[in-house]
Structure 1
Amino acid sequence: MEKKFSVAVYPSQEVMDSVKTMKDYLKSKIDWYNSCNSTAHITICEFTIDESQINQYKEKLFKTADTFTPFSVHLDHFGSYENAGAFFIAPNEESKNKLKPIMKKIQETLKSLKLKKSDDPHMSIGRKLIPENLKIAAQLFTTIEIDFLCKEIVLRELDPVKKQFFVIDTFSFNGNTQPEFVQGSLF
């Protein structure tokens, strides 16, 4: 059976709680909106495959994540994609420059799949907001300072009933710089 999956960066529980508070506050002002119930995350990519194939991709994600070294992410401003009606928290330039190569490497690892990729690291507060609600969000939230240690990526599966992703596996950044063993030839 085909299922939809997502690879993402999850912040610390403290950051998840702060973002949930912001989402709930926005919801109290504009009612229900897309992603008001989703857990705080930075999307790397989404894909749909037959669930029987997922283990081979878990192995690839494990090997890739194993080579990354944990680093600090600093989210310091809000932004929006007006054409998509998205309002989000954005990382500073230094954090963005650390996140982008990781996102690219993971997307490269999964390149055999048809990916819906994210190239601009951000943590959504709301998606598909009408212009009026985007303006309300920008008025409600003006300053932010959030830090977390980026030390893993998560693989999530979409619950088709709740229409929410849930974590099915976590891949730690272990800073393993050992090159993969390559079989050589003696002759």
Structure 2
Amino acid sequence: MKYSLVIHPGADVIDYVKDLKKQLEQNIGWYASVNSLAHISICEFESDEVDVAKIKTKLIYLAEFEKAQYVYLSDFNQYKQHTFFIEPSLYSKAYLKDMFRRVINHLKPHIVGLEDKGNDPHVTIARKLDENKMAVAKKLFTHVDKSFFCDSFSLRKFNSDKGQYEIMQRFSFGNKNREEGQLSLF
């Protein structure tokens, strides 16, 4: 089975992105990712149910030491391969990249074929747009100023019947400090 680990923004940002996607669909017709729930991808992998149970245990542990904080979404942008997206502010992007690096480094030894998706955190609006459709998206959406409290990541499983990922489990951040070892004066 195919799985992905993501950050889901708060309900208001999810609704905002859903509205943007509807507006774009009304202007250009159907496009890739039109029905995808707003998220920021961390990684994707394939696994069986036994290994996923082990991975969930690792994710519970990882989440205990992650720190929750606000993520600010500040700009619309695009990739050359015709993906239109919302990107976080520089500070928020640094926070997400640091978190994603910790998660990837912890999971990679345990998951064969782990695909790192967290190099450039963003919320995808549309994929596989041709030049004309990209021009419409850029004209429609010029300003964004949204934020959400990032306090968990979610494990999703691909539902081949629906052609979409579905949330399996949410892992809330514990905001705990890692023990660095006891300090000694001598």
Give me the TM-score of the superposition, normalised by structure 1.
Answer: 0.91
Distance 2:42 2:174 in 1: 19
- 2:24 aligned partner: 26
Superposed, 1:127-166 pairs within 5 Å as 127-166=127-166
Deviations 1:124-145 (A, max 9, x none): 0011111221111111100000
- 1:185 aligned partner: none
Gaps of 5+ in 2: 182-186
C-alpha displacement at 1:177, in angstroms? 1.6
Superposed, 1:96-115 pairs within 5 Å as 96-112=93-109, 113=111, 114-115=113-114
Gaps of 5+ in 1: 182-187
C-alpha displacement at 1:13, in angstroms? 0.5
Q: What is the identity, as a one-letter code, of the residue corresponding to 2:104?
A: Q
Give me the TM-score of the superposition, normalised by structure 2.
Answer: 0.92
Number of corresponding residues: 178
Distance 1:50 1:163 in 2: 19
Alignment root-mean-square deviation, CA? 1.4
Distance 2:104 2:37 in 1: 21
- 2:72 aligned partner: 74
Identity %: 36
- 1:39 aligned partner: 37
Deviations 1:158-180 (A, max 9, x none): 00011111110011111112449
CA contact (8 A) 1:91 1:121 kept: yes
Moved over 3 A (4+): 178-181
Q: What is the identity, as a one-letter code, of the residue corresponding to 1:115?
A: L
